[in-house]
Chains A and B, each alone.
Chain A
Amino acid sequence: MTRHAPNVLVVDDEQQIRRFLRAGFQLENCTVHEAATAADGLRLATLKPVDLLIVDLALPDMDGSEVVERFRAWSKAPIIVLSVRAQEEEKVRLLELGADDYVVKPFGMAELLARARAALRRHAAGLPGEPVVRAGPLTIDLAARSVTLDGRPVALSPKEYRLLQALAKHAGNVVTHSYLLREVWGRSHTEDAHYIRILMRKLRKKIEADATQPRILVTELGVGYRLAVDGE
């Protein structure tokens, strides 16, 4: 997965879910620790090295958001939340609290691993992400502030670039609308969801082969956007 075998901590009250997650992560050469409750999980997190936290949103003893908040208080390791459908507001809240991504139950292991890889890669490179991000024909050089499509430079307005930059910094993971609004327009516009929709249309027209069916700048309905990176 990455240079060294990452330590994954799985916190879920369902034993069968923990078992398949353990199998899935072990196939990827990860070391897996398990906890059935939030309290156990948080205690284990202080005892073992944790490179990735997988946490269920509905734990019997603690609210998912509280687990995220407490873990984030002392660890920068990526957090991926396991949620169910129709909890978009809750997902957004957890992402704002510091979770890196989420998957909706039921999910395939490949989907979770793709999210996990993206989060681990970003964390290993140290914030704010890798200097060069590739997504299909698109290359974003964050250090040089240059964007190329199939090797040809793409001219972006400053706001379009800031939007792409915010997504590239979290390449492969979801980024919430309000985070993007803050990054691009600053604090005053966090309620103006339509700004981001319109700017995203413009950006897609410059980058996507078919702007109405984007492959690179993917929408996560009700939550935000994701920059889809290669091979995942």
Chain B
Amino acid sequence: MTAALQGLGRAVADQWRTPAGRAAFEGHPLSSIAIALALVAAMTGCLSIGTQLVSLRHLSTAYLIPVVIAAATLGVVPATVAAIASVCATAFFFYPPLLNFQVSDPQQLLDLALFLIVAIVTGHLAARVRAHARLAQDREQEMEALYRFSRRLSEATDARELHATIQDHLSELTGCKVMYLEDAAAATGLPLAVRSAVAAFAAAQERASGVSVQDEQTSETWLICAAFPEAPRSVLAVNLGQVAASTQARVQHRIDAALADARATLDRLGVMRVIGDAKLREQMETLRAALIGSVSHGLRTPLASIVGSASILAEAAPIRSETQLAALTAIVRDEAERLDRDIQRLLDASRISSTGVRPNMTWADPADIVNAAAANQRRRLQGRALTVQVADELPLAYVDPVLIEQALCQMIDNATKYSPAGSPIRIAAREHEGRTEIAVADDGAGLTEEDRSRMFDRFYRGPHSSGTTGSGLGLWIAKAFVTACGGSVEAYSAGPGRGSRVSIILPAPGADTPATGEDLDD
């Protein structure tokens, strides 16, 4: 029976842990008195069974149990009520004359008086212990919530995430759903009545501390109030739920207090700075996109004019007949094309580090990829032998062929730069352990161990690169493109001065590889 009472006490105590549960009790002090009386009644029941089995003399002591439970879980008033009720119950049920509040035995009268004093003092002490425990528990929870909140704040990368964090924190603190609205325009999705109230509130010059509005459809009450003084257009919309008009003012007051608390906390944590940072990051991203847009248009368009014009000049009879002029025209075109490729490389690098690569996957023939890259580079490799060797019947690969081709072009470009003028460059595609390998080999300076391990890093330029121009981006871009398609890159060299070989390993064709058999034909 005591266990049952303890269980009940624990259940009541558990209720205290949640703000809503606590509010339920604080909202109805009568209910805690009712629980206290119920505890006394339960004890009376136990004792009446007990007295039938054995004779109990000072059974009033047993009533200390409900009194202490009431004190520890419900507070001092219910405990006092429980003490008085216990005295009455003892007098009524157990001390003769039975079923009468009169007590005939003076010793029993003294007994009851003593009990009442002890019970009230004990109740008081227990209630104080409870209050202390509750305070400590509250503080612990608050610290925990604050810690979680500040951690999430520091992890937030953009304004939206930040707003969600603030919303969650305020919701937890107030026990109601809180929406943080950057401005009135962010109120989309809220009920119409709330939206117009938010708009009116945000537009008002002289602001009240908060207004409440009722949504007709759900009959929920919303509280609209200013969020932070630093962000004058921001608004908090709090869904108070379906509260009775009588308790609304009280709930509103509590939320106001919680929000004021939260504002102080947010201030302490430098939330406004974080919000500012997030805004700055967003603006930088916009600026970067605009810059890339203007670079690709503003720089590449004139280059297209230069290349086009030079190509017409090169065909003109007066220039064709003059070898030197023809050579100059070729330089104009070649250099303009080189500049265009450099810009493309910067754009690619910027795309990789900002939005990432989005491959357009399809079934592609590795031979087509190799031939396209070779055709792309051949015009630039005049005077150098570019040999292409593609094995028969290579399996189709599921990749973005354009990305792989661009990666291969970067590798050929690299091989051209770091091998002696006139030395041959060899491209070979073959099947190796079930996967297609496309390798670019040169007779250049070769690779050191450090080159091998770092050559696909961004901005890495090898020790032999002092005499050539380059950004250190080419192979890094190649690797990013190939890995985006599920492939990998490798580098091999027999040693310094003995040439090098970089290769693209295409992803292995999976189980759903299309058949290359005859069934496709009639």
Chain A positions near chain B (C-beta within 8 angstroms): 14, 16-17, 19-21, 23-24, 27, 58, 84-86, 88-89, 105-110, 157-160, 192-195, 197-202, 211-214, 219, 221-222
Contact = CB atoms under 8 A, between A and B. Distances in A.
Given A84-B296, A109-B315, A212-B367, A17 B520 contact: no
Contact of B372 (A16, A110, A219): A219
Given A23-B312, A24-B308, A222-B360, 18 more contacts: A17-B304, A17-B308, A20-B305, A106-B308, A106-B336, A157-B521, A160-B521, A193-B363, A194-B514, A198-B396, A199-B521, A201-B365, A201-B393, A211-B367, A213-B367, A219-B368, A221-B372, A221-B405
B390 A109 contact: no
29 contacts: A14-B301, A16-B301, A17-B301, A19-B309, A20-B305, A20-B308, A20-B309, A20-B312, A23-B312, A24-B308, A58-B297, A84-B296, A89-B360, A106-B306, A106-B336, A106-B337, A106-B340, A108-B333, A109-B308, A109-B311, A109-B315, A198-B520, A201-B365, A211-B367, A211-B392, A212-B367, A213-B367, A221-B402, A222-B400
Contacts of B75: none
B402 A86 contact: yes
B439 to A, nearest CB: 15
Contacts of B405: 221
B51 interface: no
Contacts of A108: 307-308, 311, 333
A193 B520 contact: no
4 closest Cβ pairs, A-B complex: A108-B311, A106-B307, A194-B363, A16-B305
Interface string B334-348: 001100100010000
B316 to A, nearest CB: 8
Interface of B: 296-297, 300-309, 311-312, 315-316, 333, 336-337, 340, 344, 360, 362-365, 367-369, 371-372, 388, 390-393, 396, 400-402, 405, 514, 516, 520-522
A155 B471 CA distance: 52
Contacts of B371: 212-214, 219
A65 to B, nearest CB: 18
B516 A23 contact: no
B98 to A, nearest CB: 93
Contact of A159 (B344, B368, B388, B521): B521
B305 A17 contact: yes
B345 to A, nearest CB: 11
A110 B514 CA distance: 39
Contacts of A86: 402
Given A86-B402, A212-B392, A219-B372, A159 B520 contact: yes
Most buried by B among A195, A200, A221: A221
Contacts of B388: 213
Contacts of A109: 308, 311-312, 315
Contact of A16 (B296, B302, B333): B302
Contact of A106 (B297, B303, B315, B520): B303
Nearest to B391: A212
Contacts of A88: 360, 402
A109 B310 CA distance: 9
A194 B396 contact: yes
Nearest to B374: A213
A107 B307 contact: yes
Given A17-B301, A212-B390, A158 B522 contact: yes
Q: Which of A20, A24, A58 has the most CB of B within 10 A?
A: A20
A199 B430 CA distance: 21
A17 B311 CA distance: 13
